[in-house]
Structure 1
Amino acid sequence: MRLPRSRRRSETRDVASDKSEATSQTSLPGDQQAAGAARRFLRTALAQWSDSGLPEAARLGERLLDDSTLLVSELVTNAVVHAGTTVELVCRLDTRESPPGLVVEVSDHHPTRALRDDSGVLDESDVPDDSREGGRGLQLVAALSDAWGISYRRDRKTVWCRFDLPAGDGATPLLSLRGEPPAELIAPVPPQADRANDQEWAGRGALSFLAEASDLLAGQLDEDNVASLAAQLLVPRIADWCAVWVYPAGAGARLPSVWHVEERRIDGLRSVLEKSPPAADKRPGARHIAWPATPGDTVGGGALAVPLLVTGRCQGTLLLGRAGPLGLPDEVTGLVEDFARRVALAMGAARQYARQAMISTVLQRGLLPPAVGRIPGIDHAVVYEPLAGDWVGGDFYDLFPAGDGRWCFALGDVCGNGPEAASLAGVARPVLRLLAREGYGVCDVLDRLNKALADEAAAALTGGTAAWEGGQARFLSLLYGEITPYAPERGAHCTLASAGHPLPLVLGSDGRVREAASPQILLGISETAQYTSESFDLSSGDSLLCVTDGVTERRRGQRQFDDDDGLATVFGDCTGLGAAGIAERIRHAVHAYDSAPPADDLAVLVLQAR
């Protein structure tokens, strides 16, 4: 039974029993992207119904679009936050009752029944509170819909709401709402005389606007993109023009974005604005300011300046204006202030991301050894790819001269990733260089590095912090060795050892592949560990391949790249290739093993005797 607007309350009904002339449904993953996907799905469904020529679809107007978009966002958000399951969304035109209505149903698969009092009304303690993050609760559903309710089944819970279709044709043709998200939020600029509906729009469409704007702004990782998007979201919906000033740390004001409803006026407006940049203002709230006519205008205008504040620091200023008196009602001014807070948060996040990217670049550069020149009698090639999106990698490599014709090489992988792993990698490489140049052999280098790591772990245990630092274990797998060319074009002698690392492989000129070391314990596990090394000759044309577990453990479903000697098979097919060709062949095979991007750092070192 449909409840009249004057008696909004919850009711239970059999959702599957309704029949309607137009129905669209979809399944959404229970993650933070679900709400945005639901809003896009609803708009697409309404536009398709409008295309179909249904009489009822012609009565879908802007107000109903705003309200239904907001509620579908809230209901999906609540389902994700409180149930955490896949969300089923159904939208339909219900023509069985009079007047016809738009019905939205959101179902999750966590069917816990809400508590009710003796009258059957929902217990207020069970209704999500508007102040909670992740959804404003069912009060908003009751406030905006004509009827709503909750249905429980054995395997799901469904919250539905219904909007009566207004009499007559809708005010906004829904075909114009098919664009990409920024276009969806930018309505055609209303004539000056029609802006009397600002207050009404702020009361009904503002929440949907802010929800969409938050999604769009949160996806920007560049400060200038945030500024550009903010200006385009406000023009022409609220203002004729908008400018965003930013205040970089240690620098003067910068104007990355200027937008005008008439694009031909943007350059002139920018030239006027750049002559008088506003000072950073830490006082919260919008301020109305007098504004002279912009180039091409015949009358003066009004402007509104809103500081972009984050944790007490002014990130910039949002400046918007209209030709003629500004005349913004308090509700719209409050909306702009709320919007400015979201812009400021997005801008602060973008700046933080830029700082982290800079730190990542500096740290990553410090992990890379200096460029290695020509090694007499040896060709070499390196592939080094830190995990995409990570600050810095836990893998590292090195290749350097140690005197007396010896060249030392290392390929390591710290347990963990991120800055903690990078810090240990940054310590291990210079220690290896120091010990090698002091004349220590392969076994002695590993013994001393292992003792240093084990002592650090023991000190951490004594201090009650366990063998972790920042949540990352201080253990290290390492392949370390030294190679001495006999003479140009006559091969080389190699000595190496593997401490918990994928074993190196040797490819002979005859195409045979063999392991070149024995497995040993990780560095940092046991203070008493004693490491042994193995020595062998590389004949002219023989190649030594060293990799990290980002190669051998590359996954495709339940299988790994090195299952059934997969790495040796690919390596064996490299007969006749030079060092660079082998390294590239291995890299390509690892990436081609699965369509998903690699989930670990990737490092490959190839040494080939001439």
Structure 2
Amino acid sequence: MQRDTADSRTAVRGPGAAAHTSLPGNPLSPAAARRFVRLVLAEWAERGLLDRGLPDRGPAAPGLLTDRLVEDATLLASELVTNAVVHAGTDVELVCRLVETAGPEGADPVPEALVVEVSDRHPARPVRGEPHPTGEYGRGLHLVSTLAEAWGVSYRRGFKTVWFRIAATDSVAPDPADLCGAPPLWGAAPAAGMPLPSGGDDGGVRWGPSPGREPDSGWGSRGALSFLAEASDLLAGQFDEEKVAALAGQLLVPRLADWCAVWLDGEGGRGPGSAPRLARVWHASETRIEGLRAVLEKDPPALPDAALGWPVPWPWPVVSPVLENEPLVGDAFTASGDEPLLGGARASGNEPLVGEARPVSESEPLGGEGPDSEPYEEDGSALACRLFAGGRSVGTLLLGRAGLARIPDEVTALIEDFARRVALAVVSARQYTRQATTSLVLQRGLRPRSIASIPGVDTQVVYEPAGEGAWAGGDFYDIFQAGNGRWCFALGDVCGNGPEAAVVTGLVRPWLKLLAHEGYSVAGVLDRLNRMLVDDATQATEAAAAAVAAVAAVATAGAHPAGEVTQVRFLSLLHGELVPTEEAGGGLRCTLASAGHPLPLLLRPDGAVRPVAVPQVLLGVLEDTGYETESFVLEPGDTLLCVTDGVTERRSGRRQFDDGDGLAAALAGCAGLGAADIAERIRKAVHAFDELPPDDDLALLVLQAR
């Protein structure tokens, strides 16, 4: 093992391949790190960099890429990225280097070792190798020092890098006791054959294999670590706290427990009026789930404040005859009934007491009410663990194993690591839910509650924000009556995305309607909106200049000025109005203008397509710009298609959907269709243009004269 001040360059000698990626400081990064390491090794193997003979072993020797190396590198990279995310909270840089040595004269270099570096931008925080009292820290660098040939920590200006090296000749498996600091935990049995307890020399209980199953000594090391890696992958992909709770139960049962339950605290944490909610109960035998729930839902475990994320023993949930042979069910009591018991404490009669005291019938089983229900086991060992993340409790995990006097220490440590991952997943799911809810509220507020029905015109609108749960974006639309026989329509797109773009949308759309209702023409509406945005840009520029001056004033002191600089925002807008003509054949006079927006297309009944506007500058760019309008008659059977750049700039590799007038070609194929069918066909064509979902908001408006 290298000293903590060592530099990875001391272990990296000779040429070799390298790959680099940047990861955000959030709970999804460990899973991304594992995928990156696997992809890099697979790419190097495909290029033939890893299958050359090892030194001193002949050209037929196996290459560097082995299952052991892939597993170790993936696991250690995941652990180091997890540590960086939890302890530093910054973006993480991940580098994989292939170290090679010179081969015989005229031969290719030979792969010697793999070096992985994980850097964060918070070098002041120390690297931890031991668990921290808060329970949020894992095994730290214990895994790295056990599995890697060499490792170290290097400090540079603004960076701290933890690196490890795995050599090609490193083929001796580590002793499980060296890795976990405890006797090995035997392999998990399938649901049909649960592991049986076996006596230990210390009078405790270890988990043994099921009958007919050989012990798997690797479970204490690689089995446990693989379990945590799998749990991290699965939990990181869940964005609903209910699914996180359900998945936690499925991961634990039956591999580590016979049953488990997950309580979730309210968003405001524990307190008066915010009792924890029993979100999920899981049992290896489905017929016992309801009986277990009936016992557990009476009162959630009340762990002491000092138990911040590590498991503590908890009484076994059973029906016990005490006090004049009347069974009691509920919270755990001492013999005097005053204080709750922890750690398998027993009252008189050597039976654990669980639950709020209430008489039950001697014939009442602790199971469901149906004929298939089974009474629950009457003995075992249970653990309760607070789900603690981000400095606050988000819930409680309770699990039990039948037939054990106590749960082994190595399993307790594994449960602690698992509970930390569950807590982080719950926090991430709640953050995602809050963002999705906020986005939904904004989208509903920014979209018109209804669109006007224009006499003699069929209308169809399609609006799809980019991404599930995405922030309300900058695309907006509206169709409304402006008075005096005028109907107006608008389709706009604020430059940018997210909440900032939504703010501009919330300002522009009501101003547009107000100006149109006041009788301003199409050109007049655009002129005044442009002036408003230019004034806003001027104020933003002045604020930026003031911020620069403030930075210069305090630069020598090393301080940073408070406050935010408003970003300059531009807007593309297609705005038009429709007025019924007085001609006998019907139709409507359409007057419109496009300010930096994709040009609208007019589809004739014979399939001819042409643009009906000229390009003009974006709103908010130039102060003295005057906007010009185009006017034409929308005759019966004609269709006007208006879209945002989410349609025209939809990408597939280097191609865009509108390359070579692709949108016009797609519209020409819609001749003879109604407005709704045209909108749906264009939408499907945009989605089918590439396998990946659209990365920009998609909005289109179809107006068809009858």
Question: TM-score higher than 0.5 here?
Answer: yes
CA contact (8 A) 1:83 1:108 kept: no
The residue type equivalent to 2:76 in the other structure is E
Paired residue secondary structure (2:544): coil
Paired residue secondary structure (1:526): coil
The residue type equivalent to 1:426 in the other structure is G
Given candidates 217, 241, 244, the residue that maps to 2:235 is: 217
Q: State the 1:414 CA deviation.
A: 0.7
The residue type equivalent to 1:218 in the other structure is A
Equivalent in the alignment of 1:169: none
Deviates more, 1:503-512 or 1:131-140: 131-140
Distance in 2 between residues matched to 1:596 and 1:86, nearest whole Å: 31
The answer as to 2:166 corresponding to 1:143 is: no
Equivalent in the alignment of 2:316: 291
- Summarize the Cα distance change of 1:287–1:345 in structure 2 as closer, same or farther, 3 Å threshold: same
Q: State the 1:511 CA deviation.
A: 2.8
The residue type equivalent to 1:271 in the other structure is A
Q: Summarize the alignment of residues 553-592 of structure 1 with structure 2, pairs less than 5 Å apart.
A: 553-592=649-688
The residue type equivalent to 2:257 in the other structure is A
Q: State the 1:258 CA deviation.
A: 1.1
Q: Summarize the alignment of residues 369-518 of structure 1 with structure 2, pairs less than 5 Å apart.
A: 369-389=448-468, 390-464=470-544, 473-486=568-581, 490-518=586-614
Equivalent in the alignment of 2:290: 267
CA contact (8 A) 1:543 1:606 kept: yes
Distance in 2 between residues matched to 1:506 and 1:592, nearest whole Å: 23
Q: State the 1:523 CA deviation.
A: 0.7
- Summarize the Cα distance change of 1:598–1:403 in structure 2 as closer, same or farther, 3 Å threshold: same
- Summarize the Cα distance change of 1:271–1:587 in structure 2 as closer, same or farther, 3 Å threshold: same
Equivalent in the alignment of 2:212: none
Given candidates 76, 85, 107, the residue that maps to 1:74 is: 76
Stretches of structure 2 lacking an aligned partner (at least 5 in a row) = 1-9, 24-30, 42-65, 83-91, 100-110, 118-126, 152-164, 175-186, 209-216, 268-272, 320-365, 367-374, 548-562
Paired residue secondary structure (1:494): strand
The answer as to 2:428 corresponding to 1:359 is: no
- Summarize the Cα distance change of 1:582–1:454 in structure 2 as closer, same or farther, 3 Å threshold: same
The residue type equivalent to 2:386 in the other structure is P
Q: State the 1:330 CA deviation.
A: 4.1
The answer as to 2:278 corresponding to 1:247 is: no
- Summarize the Cα distance change of 1:438–1:245 in structure 2 as closer, same or farther, 3 Å threshold: same
The answer as to 2:414 corresponding to 1:335 is: yes
Distance in 2 between residues matched to 1:86 and 1:603, nearest whole Å: 45
The residue type equivalent to 2:588 in the other structure is A
- Summarize the Cα distance change of 1:306–1:238 in structure 2 as closer, same or farther, 3 Å threshold: same
The residue type equivalent to 1:416 in the other structure is G
Paired residue secondary structure (1:398): strand
- Summarize the Cα distance change of 1:486–1:72 in structure 2 as closer, same or farther, 3 Å threshold: closer
The answer as to 2:136 corresponding to 1:162 is: no
Distance in 2 between residues matched to 1:72 and 1:573, nearest whole Å: 51
The residue type equivalent to 2:415 in the other structure is V
Q: State the 1:274 CA deviation.
A: 1.6
Q: State the 1:599 CA deviation.
A: 2.1
**TM-score normalized by structure 2?**
0.64
Distance in 2 between residues matched to 1:470 and 1:187, nearest whole Å: 63
Given candidates 254, 260, 281, the residue that maps to 1:236 is: 254
Equivalent in the alignment of 2:4: none
Deviates more, 1:390-399 or 1:32-41: 32-41
The answer as to 2:197 corresponding to 1:189 is: no
Equivalent in the alignment of 2:630: 534
Paired residue secondary structure (1:431): helix
Distance in 1 between residues matched to 2:440 and 2:511, nearest whole Å: 22
The residue type equivalent to 1:418 in the other structure is G
- Considering fraction of residues, name the structure with more helix: 1
- Summarize the Cα distance change of 1:138–1:428 in structure 2 as closer, same or farther, 3 Å threshold: same
Q: State the 1:266 CA deviation.
A: 1.4
Deviates more, 1:260-269 or 1:359-368: 260-269
Q: State the 1:211 CA deviation.
A: 3.0
**TM-score normalized by structure 1?**
0.73
Distance in 2 between residues matched to 1:523 and 1:331, nearest whole Å: 65
Distance in 1 between residues matched to 2:513 and 2:80, nearest whole Å: 56
CA contact (8 A) 1:394 1:422 kept: yes
CA contact (8 A) 2:595 2:615 kept: yes
Give the aligned length.
Answer: 518
- Cα deviation code 1:444-474 (max 9, x no counterpart): 1111111111111111111127999888641
Given candidates 639, 652, 661, the residue that maps to 1:543 is: 639
- Cα deviation code 1:456-511 (max 9, x no counterpart): 11111111279998886411000011111236961001111111101111122333
Q: State the 1:198 CA deviation.
A: 5.8
Deviates more, 1:340-349 or 1:387-396: 387-396
Distance in 1 between residues matched to 2:389 and 2:141, nearest whole Å: 31
CA contact (8 A) 1:36 1:212 kept: no
- Summarize the Cα distance change of 1:161–1:358 in structure 2 as closer, same or farther, 3 Å threshold: farther
Paired residue secondary structure (1:606): strand
Q: State the 1:275 CA deviation.
A: 2.1
- Summarize the Cα distance change of 1:142–1:30 in structure 2 as closer, same or farther, 3 Å threshold: same
Paired residue secondary structure (1:595): coil
Q: State the 1:251 CA deviation.
A: 5.0
Distance in 2 between residues matched to 1:86 and 1:12, nearest whole Å: 8
Distance in 2 between residues matched to 1:543 and 1:298, nearest whole Å: 72
- Summarize the Cα distance change of 1:469–1:205 in structure 2 as closer, same or farther, 3 Å threshold: same
CA contact (8 A) 2:79 2:140 kept: no
- Summarize the Cα distance change of 1:262–1:214 in structure 2 as closer, same or farther, 3 Å threshold: same
- Summarize the Cα distance change of 1:417–1:158 in structure 2 as closer, same or farther, 3 Å threshold: same
- Summarize the Cα distance change of 1:202–1:608 in structure 2 as closer, same or farther, 3 Å threshold: same
Distance in 2 between residues matched to 1:606 and 1:476, nearest whole Å: 21
Paired residue secondary structure (1:162): coil
Paired residue secondary structure (2:577): strand
Distance in 2 between residues matched to 1:313 and 1:136, nearest whole Å: 21
Q: State the 1:403 CA deviation.
A: 0.8
Equivalent in the alignment of 1:55: none
Distance in 2 between residues matched to 1:40 and 1:524, nearest whole Å: 45
Q: State the 1:278 CA deviation.
A: 3.2
Deviates more, 1:221-230 or 1:366-375: 366-375
The answer as to 2:3 corresponding to 1:35 is: no
Aligned-residue CA RMSD (Å): 4.4
Distance in 2 between residues matched to 1:332 and 1:465, nearest whole Å: 59
Distance in 2 between residues matched to 1:65 and 1:231, nearest whole Å: 29
Q: State the 1:596 CA deviation.
A: 2.4
Q: State the 1:72 CA deviation.
A: 4.6
CA contact (8 A) 1:39 1:73 kept: no
The residue type equivalent to 2:599 in the other structure is L
The residue type equivalent to 1:354 in the other structure is T
- Cα deviation code 1:503-523 (max 9, x no counterpart): 111122333222211111111
Given candidates 605, 617, 626, the residue that maps to 1:521 is: 617
The residue type equivalent to 1:554 in the other structure is R
CA contact (8 A) 1:297 1:323 kept: no
Paired residue secondary structure (2:399): strand
